């Protein structure tokens, strides 16, 4: 702990915006996609043309409800939309449709079970809103171009209580939140694509005291590590200010990750007046019990529930289960493999030790050519004795580059396990003749001595001898040798 943290206790709250994984935008039928040509995914509604009107996306509301249920929040019986008004070129209506007074979710908690020390962080609210477009400043000519593809994509803004006490807490909370959102198919939460964005509020107070200090809002945070760094820097900045007899100003600062420092964006006095008022185009809508129940019924399993199932039903170790669960795409891969081979333990082993060993440099499992069908086939081939583990590993390595079916590789590499009893008996006999000492040791009860003989047999069969059969033959021959 730095000396600063011995004297000062940080108080941190996070505002996280996630894009919801709906097929269409929040208030129109345009596709919700990343990476299309500029302004290809627009219509009169998301362009804010005169006369166009918004119609709410029920699916977005369902995903928000799904989140609310997952964190144990309260789902509003009646939810409504408000207009948040400000002028900006990427905001074609001059206001953003958001929820001020009637958020769809209030309360709830997130517990850092997978990434932290199990601390519980309270949520204040989660509300629906629409994303703005994106401005692109041209290098030459100084003009600004606006792309409105992003405009109108549904967002869920998740506001935590100021319950975080360190940069590590913030990191763990963000990871935990992302795990929940991804596991529940609510959002991709990819910061690089902008589907998860986060602002941080930081204040500090002398340790042992309770009143909150004046807080600073940090914006422009582009990675979870960046959030951690920015918080650490802000804590030191505020401590230095206070220790020099100064005071912390209520302000918003922009984090510069490259320089590792922040700069003033605006003081509190110049904070905009958003003039929120209920959007008259969108009547308040009732979220009935039946709808909530339906959303609950179709929701995927929560990470903690899944952990319990993997350890108790699948018999995986806590560690292995967590490795799978913390990445929902690996988890999906694992589930598919298990469904195909019906052997969760071996599926988990092949994925976490063998496949991971081949994946280098942050490759996503979704981009790997080896698919669950490949893994399931290898598990089955080992189980039925066609391949031994060593050969299966060799096949996997080949498939990683060229994902043809295992059987083709087995044939091409001549890896079919030798289980022909007569042939193996001859080889084992020869091995025994060549290693009289090992035979003597075995007879004397030193089981380890078998290694020399089996090793010889494996060498003779180019590694394809079925180890189980070899051991069986050896045991039999020993009786008469």
Partner 1 sequence: MTGPLPLKAIADSVRSGARTSVDVATEYLDRIERGAALGAFLAVDRARTLAEAAAVDARVARGEALPLAGVPVAVKDNIHAVGFTTTCASRMLEGFRPPFDATVVEKLRAAGAVVLGKTNLDEFAMGSSTENSAYLVCRNPWATDRIPGGSSGGSAAAVAANLAPAALGSDTGGSIRQPAALTGTVGLKPTYGRVSRFGLVAFGSSLDQVGPMTRRVEDAAMLHDVLSGHDPKDATTSARPHAPTAPHVGDGVRGLRIGLPDEYFGDAVDSEIRASVESAGRALEAAGAVLKRVSLPHTPHAIPTYYIVATSEASSNLARYDGVHYGRRHPEAVDIASLFTGSRSAYLGKEVKRRILLGTWCLSSGFYDAFYDRALRIRSLLKADFDAAFRDVDLVLCPTTPTPAWRLGEKISDPVQMYVADILTGACNLAGIPGLVVPCGTTGQKDTRLPIGAQLLGPAWSESLLLRAGAVIEAACWDPSFVPSFGSAS
- Quick check: 147 binds partner 1 (CB under 8 A)? no
The pattern of x and - marking residues 95 through 134 that bind partner 1 according to CB under 8 A reads x---------------------------------------
Residue 243 to residue 235: CA distance in whole angstroms: 12
Choose between 85 and 352: whose C-beta lies nearer to partner 1. Answer: 85
Which residue in the set 13, 48, 303, 372 belongs to the binding site for partner 1 (CB under 8 A)?
48
Cα 373–chain centre separation: 23
- Quick check: 267 binds partner 1 (CB under 8 A)? no
Q: Which stretch binds partner 1 (CB under 8 A): 48-56, 108-116, 322-330, 365-373?
A: 48-56
- Quick check: 49 binds partner 1 (CB under 8 A)? yes
Residue 299 to residue 321: CA distance in whole angstroms: 21
Collapsing DSSP to helix, strand or coil, 67 comes out as: helix
- Quick check: 52 binds partner 1 (CB under 8 A)? yes
- Quick check: 141 binds partner 1 (CB under 8 A)? no
Which residue in the set 2, 23, 44, 357 belongs to the binding site for partner 1 (CB under 8 A)?
44
Choose between 88 and 212: whose C-beta lies nearer to partner 1. Answer: 88
Contact indicator for 427, 435 with CB cutoff of 8 Å? no
- Quick check: 53 binds partner 1 (CB under 8 A)? yes
Residue 263 to residue 384: CA distance in whole angstroms: 64
Query: Tokens 């007569």 label which residue?
Result: 422
Neighbour count for residue 372 (Cβ, 10 Å): 20
Helix orientation angle between 467-480 and 436-443, rounded to the nearest 10 degrees: 80
Which residue in the set 1, 3, 87, 445 belongs to the binding site for partner 1 (CB under 8 A)?
87
CA-to-CA separations, 73 to 99, 125, 301, 305, 333, in angstroms, rounded: 16, 8, 17, 18, 30
Closest distance of CB 278 from partner 1, Å: 9
Which residue in the set 25, 66, 93, 398 belongs to the binding site for partner 1 (CB under 8 A)?
93
The backbone torsions φ and ψ at residue 365, rounded to the nearest 5 degrees and listed phi first, read -65, -25
- Quick check: 92 binds partner 1 (CB under 8 A)? yes
Q: Which stretch binds partner 1 (CB under 8 A): 92-100, 157-165, 415-423, 437-445?
A: 92-100
Strands 285-286 and 8-19: unpaired
The backbone torsions φ and ψ at residue 157, rounded to the nearest 5 degrees and listed phi first, read -100, 120
Binding site for partner 1 (CB under 8 A): 44, 47-56, 83, 85, 87-89, 92-95, 144, 146, 273, 275-277, 280-283
């Amino acid at each position: 702990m730095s000396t600063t943290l011995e004297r000062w206790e940080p108080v941190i709250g996070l505002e996280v915006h996630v894009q919801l994984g709906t097929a269409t935008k929040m208030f129109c039928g345009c596709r919700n996609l990343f990476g299309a040509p500029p302004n290809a995914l627009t219509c009169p509604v998301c362009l804010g043309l005169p006369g166009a009107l918004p119609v709410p996306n029920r699916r977005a509301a369902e995903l928000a409800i799904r989140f609310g249920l997952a964190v144990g929040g309260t789902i509003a019986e009646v939810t409504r939309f408000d207009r948040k008004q400000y002028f900006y070129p990427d905001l074609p209506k001059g206001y953003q449709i958001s929820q001020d007074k009637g958020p769809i979710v209030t309360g709830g908690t997130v517990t850092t079970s997978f990434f932290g020390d199990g601390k519980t962080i309270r949520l204040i609210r989660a509300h629906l809103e629409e994303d703005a477009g994106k401005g692109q400043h041209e290098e030459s000519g100084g003009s600004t171009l606006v792309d409105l593809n992003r405009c109108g994509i549904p967002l869920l803004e998740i506001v935590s209580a100021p319950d975080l006490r360190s940069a590590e807490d913030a990191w763990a909370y963000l990871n935990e939140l992302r795990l929940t959102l991804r596991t529940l198919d609510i959002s991709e939460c990819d910061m690089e694509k902008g589907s998860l964005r986060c602002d941080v509020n930081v204040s500090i107070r002398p340790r042992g005291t309770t009143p909150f200090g004046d807080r600073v809002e940090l914006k422009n945070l582009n990675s979870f590590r960046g959030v951690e760094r920015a918080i650490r820097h802000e804590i030191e900045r505020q401590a230095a200010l206070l220790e020099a007899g100064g005071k912390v100003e209520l302000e918003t600062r922009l984090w510069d990750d490259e320089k590792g420092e922040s700069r003033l964006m605006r003081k509190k006095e110049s904070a905009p007046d958003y003039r929120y008022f209920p959007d008259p185009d969108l009547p308040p809508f009732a979220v009935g019990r039946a709808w909530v129940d339906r959303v609950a019924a179709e929701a995927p399993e929560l990470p903690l529930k899944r952990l319990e199932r993997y350890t108790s039903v699948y018999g995986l170790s806590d560690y292995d289960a967590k490795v799978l669960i913390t990445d929902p795409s690996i988890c999906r891969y694992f589930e598919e493999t298990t469904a195909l081979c019906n052997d969760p333990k071996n599926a988990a082993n092949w994925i976490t030790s063998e496949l991971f060993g081949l994946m280098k440099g942050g490759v996503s499992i979704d981009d790997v050519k080896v698919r669950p069908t490949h893994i399931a086939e290898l598990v089955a081939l080992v189980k039925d004795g066609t391949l031994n583990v060593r050969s299966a590993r060799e096949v996997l390595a080949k498939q990683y580059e060229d994902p043809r079916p295992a059987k083709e590789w087995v044939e091409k590499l001549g890896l079919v396990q030798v289980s022909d009893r007569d042939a193996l008996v001859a080889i084992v006999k020869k091995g025994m003749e060549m290693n009289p000492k090992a035979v003597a040791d075995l007879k004397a009860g030193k089981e380890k001595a078998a290694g020399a003989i089996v090793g010889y047999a494996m060498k003779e069969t180019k590694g394809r001898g079925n180890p189980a059969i070899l051991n069986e033959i050896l045991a039999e021959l020993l009786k008469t040798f």
